[in-house]
Amino acid sequence: MSITYFEKERIFKLDTPNTSYMIGLVDEENFVGHIYYGKRLAGHEAGYLMRTQEPPFVPSKNNRERCSFYDCFPFEYPTGGLGDYRDSCFSLRTANGNVGSSLSYVSHKIYGGKPALEGLPATFGEADTCDTLELICEDKHAGIEYVLIYTAFKDTDAITRSVRIRNIGNEPFYLTKVYSACIDMDNKDFDMITLHGSWARERHIQRKTLGFGMQGATSFRGKSSHQNHPFLALVTKNTTQETGEVYAMNFVYSGNFCAQAEVSQFDSVRMAMGIHTENFCWKLECGKSFQAPEVVMVYSATGLDGMTTAFHRLYKKHLIRGEYKDKKRPILINNWEATYFNFDTEKLLSIAREASKLGIEMLVMDDGWFGKRNSDNCALGDWYVNEDKLQGGLKYLVDEVNKLGMKFGIWFEPEMISPDSDLYREHPDWAIAIPGRKATESRQQYVLDLSRPEIVDYVYERVASVLRSANIEYVKWDMNRELTDLGSYCLPADRQGELYHRYVLAVYELQDRLTKEFPHLLLENCSGGGARFDPGMLYFSPQIWCSDDADAIERLSIQEGTALIYPLSTMGAHVADCPNHTVGRVTPFETRGIVALAGTFGYELDVTKIPQADRDMIPEQVAMYHKYNDLVRQGDYYRIASYSENHQYDCWEVVSEDKKEALVTYVQVLNRPNFKSRRIYLKELDANKLYRIEGEEAVYSGELLMYAGLQVPNPWGDFQARLIHLIEA
């Protein structure tokens, strides 16, 4: 097994192909300490790393300095209120107002495979691919049982962690903080990498020096957000794409989060991740449990490339599910930027007729098909077909599109309600709101209170009834605003702090029901673009709309940051119209297609109105997609150059698992005078194989391409892109 307990030393060792993680039990009180996370070790005798033989010593040897022990011991799951002044992972308030808690090991289980987490998305695996450790711990005084759950994967360098809290006492208590994972370790003069942004510029990479105190990324917007991302990496100063050490965490959750690193006065680092504490308070009744979401941990000794490969392989093999897990996605055309709200049946069919001739495989009808929705200020919640727009009804439109040989998809925003809607007029209490306070509008809409089962059932039935009415094979599930005015008309006063988390659980329930009733449906999540692009959503949908900004140049940084963690197959990417509707930039149609190829690939334009030269290029792009998508979807991704760093060009590579094929994408953003070519160094080819660039006669060895490099001719003009396809000679 990949997990071993060494009883004599009281050490647990978890192994992945290239990494080891060790946990130790200490003293008579069975403190659970972190020992090691790093390169795979053959041995396990590393308990000395917890420094228990140094002052202040363990409490059984020096109880007068118990507080000092708490404040420096490398806890595996630190609790608060008893003397550890670093930020804890757990806190509670008892019925009598006490807040202190502790954690002592009681027993453990080691078994093959990985259990599901009740009500939550999580990675999965059978006994041949992973092993699981459960550390059962407790605080007898407070009546708490902690189950620390670890899974080590055998086919990728990832370890997952989660925590289950059970009330084993005689009275309820209130959870005020339940993080999912923590690593206490010495500071290696780390830098910290996070992903930041806003609407239309999500997941830009930020790297800065890790200093003393608390730093990281958070969201308490009710979703993972445009502004920050549930990801954190600590990297050594020398870390590049290929070299250096990386410690990374990613949160399998779609709501509020905290991803943080704290440097203590002893220059140790506490890296932790979990549900944000803002407005979080969960009443836990006697005998009941609370399951925290999962954190994915990755260690790489081979730089950011090693980290990215581990995340990509884990998510492709152990997170994404369903019919499209390993399947090519249909090339779609979405009518949003083509028509906005100004469409009817004939307009949509005119787009479909032209698109079908060019090889496009699916028409997606976006916002504006329901209720009295002719602008974005009304009708959300009224999920009934507007037959004034869709003459003949939805089924007629879908059937006509199917007759063209195309699939049909549709847009929903099921979690929202407009104040100007029949649903709100009938059920004003269904919106999240603070009774008596004027509600905050965003996009002139409110959020439905999904903590109420009757609302969840209503939403599901409205969406499902539309899908049952016609041959709809794709759903774009949108969510266009944050949560505010946190209040539920039905939750009791001492459970109002559960609203944020109950909301996320309800979204998961809705999407779980949807994918079970419609197992052949291709679900694409969206949240104003990329505001809910996270592993939790990937568990239900194999792809997520990456950003509302489809400009090819803006997408370089957005897709670079996204691909740092997520497979290319998950990134919704389209060829959009020009001038671009977000930034007004004009880029070549060919470049737009090449950039969108590093994603799901589709179109976001009115194909009946674009220039003939662009229209004539679509069949070539369709053929390009079908030729390369298996490689893009299944291959290993490597970053060669970053436009966000060099401000001139971007370059990435995808290599097949057998090393027989590679695709290099080169995008010159800004041309330079008097330069003949640029040398790029390819990665992870077979040094002993010979490769030929498709369309050329020359043959190169793998080692030559990796170590000496490849010359890319300097193209004339800005915003120029080129594909370089290497095949074994």
Task: State the catalytic residues.
Answer: 478, 548
Distance CA 516, CA 45 (A): 48
Residues 342, 376 contacting (CB under 8 angstroms): no
Distance CA 232, CA 307 (A): 12
Q: How many CB atoms lie within 10 A of CB 236?
A: 16
User: CA 640, 643, 646 angle in degrees (round to 5)?
Assistant: 90
Distance CA 687, CA 240 (A): 21
Distance CA 301, CA 211 (A): 22
Distance CA 67, CA 57 (A): 11
Question: Scanning the structure block, which residue is given the tokens 């590679």?
Answer: 662
DSSP bridge partners of 263: 213, 269
φ/ψ bin of 419: left (φ > 0), alpha (ψ from -120 to 50), beta (otherwise): alpha
Residues 137, 145 contacting (CB under 8 angstroms): yes
Residue 185, SS3 per DSSP: strand
3-state secondary structure 418-484: CCCCHHHHHCHHHECCCCCCCCCCECCEEEECCCCHHHHHHHHHHHHHHHHCCCCCEEEECCCCCCC
Token pair recorded at residue 446: 């409110």
Residue 376, SS3 per DSSP: coil
Q: Which residues, 6 or more positions from 709, have their beta carbon under 8 angstroms from its beta carbon?
A: 679, 680, 681, 682
Query: What φ, ψ does residue 448 adopt, rounded to 5°?
Result: -70, 145
* CA-closest candidate to residue 447, choices 509, 502, 367, 522: 502
Residues 138, 144 contacting (CB under 8 angstroms): yes
* CA-closest candidate to residue 677, choices 637, 624, 722: 722
Distance CA 93, CA 174 (A): 5
Distance CA 671, CA 567 (A): 30
Distance CA 30, CA 20 (A): 22
DSSP string, 10-52: TEEEEE-SSEEEEEEEETTTTEEEEEEEEE--S----GGGG-T
Residues 306, 300 contacting (CB under 8 angstroms): yes
* CA-closest candidate to residue 542, choices 560, 515, 564, 563: 515
**Host H or E run for residue 309:** helix 303-318
Distance CA 184, CA 199 (A): 34
Q: Which residues, 6 or more positions from 347, have their beta carbon under 8 angstroms from its beta carbon?
A: 335, 339
